[in-house]
Amino acid sequence: MSPGPRVLLRDFRLVDETLDMPGSVLIETGSILDVFPQGALLPETRFPRDTTIQGGGSLVLMPALVDLHAHFRDPGYPEKETLESASLAAVAGGYGTVVCMANTNPVIDTLAKAQALKERSDALGLMDLYPVLALTQGMEGRVLSDIRFLEGPLHETAPWIRMLSEDGKDVVSDELLYRALQAARRLGIPVSCHCDAGGPEADAAKAAGKPRECWSRIEENHATRRVIALGRQTHGHVHIAHVSTKESVDLIRKVKAQQEPALTLTAEASPHHLCLTQEAAHTLGDATWGRVNPPLRTEADRQALIQGILDGTIDAIATDHAPHTEADKVQGAPGFTGLETSFALCHTELVSKGRLSLSGLSSLMSASPARILGLTDRGRIAPEFRGDLMVVDTEAVWRVTMSRFRSRGKNSPVTGLVCTGKVLMTIQQGRVVFEAPVSPDA
């Protein structure tokens, strides 16, 4: 194959999970061909179509982000989001790869439905989408979905499926969840467990009229223990979605420390649980604009999550992008739009405040989620990795303005917040797919 046009990104601060140095990057035919330290002799441009993108100042070149958890609402809920609006939001947020959940209408419970969505996304050509396959038909918790007869490893037969999940409708039957985890193991991919299936203690607290913050904590802790136990029995890969309680962080840390060969355990935290607490939910409205599953929790929980991302207990930051209409939010629909603010929010709260290095953030938002998905070709700035990159200005100060969102979901918990750090450009396999408008708060 003759080489395509080259893209030279020159004079940037280059940051990935192991790299933080000034330099330049050359992309050819969609992949990184070379990385040059500052001062090295740079290649000549060869074709008129070759492009040079100039860095400098506070501009940083990082791997594009990888999201393990987003809700695209497509098919079925165009009033909340469509594939097109979600993809535009994703690239505006710096994402090159997104896993979208199956709680659509109809539910994505067959390989054919997942493939159709993947093909529509590829035709758009903005980013690399990986639809999740539901564990049970229609997410009804009764009959296993296509996963019951698929043969593995799936990354050979259906490489666009990298994760299974029943989303927020945890499979209640232990026997069925056991069989789903067994199937996932056969297929060689993780099950994202949302950990909100009741348990007797949570049910009792609910029946006794205890507040949501009380029973939902019992619920999450119980469900986390349950899926870890089932993961052990099936030797599967259990991925815990949006960890939010300090008890769950402690449990995951303890289990990981045991290094059990029979269990692969990974976990994600969402930007809103890392950066906000229940005080924000009270201000926004606990039952409306501040409502999310799992709920925003206490400062002690938030600090435990931060400790968890610092010591490796939590492997990744995932958005749980959950767009809703205004009418749905007013009626209590849980969830926040998040793709367009996740980097800035985490940068502002964790990097600018000195808790985490930019390399650490890159690891949590790019390299580590890519590893969880078995995508070994992205998330780093190194030769042969995909040319999926983003340019951020770490000094840019901007205000979150919902009317500017590409997402149809205007349900952000941080509207009006002044952030430090902004995604200016997203590059997908060497093509510029997003450029921030020049306006300072666009």
Report, in Å, the least distance between residue 335 CB and ligand DOR.
3
Distance CA(223)–CA(294), nearest Å, equals 12
Among 194, 222, 239, 371, binds ligand DOR (CB under 6 A): 194
Q: Rule CB under 6 A: which of 165-184 touch ligand DOR?
A: 168
| Site mask for ligand DOR (CB under 6 A), range 313-332, x = bound | -------x-x----------
Rounded to whole angstroms, the Cα distance separating 302 from 110 reads 37
Cβ neighbourhood burial of 51 (10 Å; 0-12, 13-18, 19+) = middle
Query: Which residue in 63, 93, 308, 335 binds ligand DOR (CB under 6 A)?
Result: 335
Q: How far is the CB of 415 from ligand DOR (least distance, A)?
A: 17
Question: What is the C-alpha to C-alpha distance for residues 392 and 365, in angstroms, rounded to an integer?
Answer: 14
CB-CB contact of 234 with 185 (8 Å): yes
Nearer to ligand DOR, 234 or 293 (CB): 293
Instruction: Determine contact, residues 255/249, Cβ cutoff 8 Å.
Output: no
- Asked if residue 67 binds ligand DOR (CB under 6 A), the reply is no
- The single residue among 87, 103, 234, 363 that binds ligand DOR, judged by CB under 6 A, is 103
* Residue 81 tokens, joined: 């989001």
Nearest approach in angstroms of CB 168 to ligand DOR is: 4
The answer to whether 196 touches 294, Cβ cutoff 8 Å, is: yes
Q: How near is the Cβ of 412 to ligand DOR at its closest, in Å?
A: 13
| Amino acid in position 162 | R
Catalytic (active-site) positions: 320
Q: Which residue is nearest to ligand DOR (CB)?
A: 335
Could you give the CA distance from residue 168 to residue 186 in angstroms, rounded to a whole number? 23
Residue 210, Cβ neighbours under 10 Å: how many? 14
Q: Kindly state whether residue 338 participates in binding ligand DOR, applying the rule CB under 6 A.
A: no
Q: Give whichever of 13 and 272 is closer to ligand DOR, judged by the CB atom.
A: 272
Closer CB to ligand DOR, 337 or 368, in the complex: 337
Minimum separation from the CB atom of position 291 to ligand DOR (A): 7
Residue 334 interacting with ligand DOR (CB under 6 A): yes
Using the minimum distance from each CB to ligand DOR, give the nearer residue, 53 or 322. Answer: 322
| 71 is a site residue for ligand DOR (CB under 6 A) | yes
Name residues contacting ligand DOR, limited to 275-294 (CB under 6 A): 292-293
Shortest distance in whole angstroms from residue 196 CB to ligand DOR: 8
- Would you tell me how many other CB atoms lie within 10 Å of the CB of residue 107? 23
**Least distance in angstroms from the C-beta of 40 to ligand DOR:** 46
Residues sharing a CB contact under 8 Å with residue 189, sequence separation 6 or more, in sequence order: 154, 155, 161, 162, 163, 164, 237, 374
The answer to whether 280 and 291 have CB atoms below 8 angstroms apart is no
Provide the token pair at 177: 């969840």
Q: How far is the CB of 322 from ligand DOR (least distance, A)?
A: 4
Smallest distance, ligand DOR to C-beta of residue 295, A: 9
Site size with ligand DOR, rule: CB under 6 A: 10
Residue nearer to ligand DOR on the CB measure, 147 or 193: 193
Q: How far apart are CA 56 and CA 54, in angstroms?
A: 7
Euclidean distance between CA atoms 216 and 224, whole angstroms: 12
Q: Pick from 378, 432, 393, 409: which is nearest to 55 by CA?
A: 393
Q: DSSP states of 243-304 as a string?
A: ---HHHHHHHHHHHHTT-TT-EEEEEE-HHHHH--HHHHHHHIIIIIT--SSPP--HHHHHH
C-beta of 65 vs 292, nearer to ligand DOR:
292
| Closer to ligand DOR by Cβ: residue 236 or 335 | 335
Residue with token string 């009626």: 331
The residues, ordered by sequence, that sit 6+ positions from 379 with a Cβ below 8 Å of its Cβ are 16, 17, 63, 66, 366, 367, 368, 369, 370, 371, 385
Nearer to ligand DOR, 93 or 295 (CB): 295
Main-chain dihedrals φ then ψ at residue 67, nearest 5 degrees:
-105, 125
Q: 169 or 422, CB closer to ligand DOR?
A: 169
Residues that bind ligand DOR (CB under 6 A): 71, 103, 168, 194, 292-293, 320, 322, 334-335
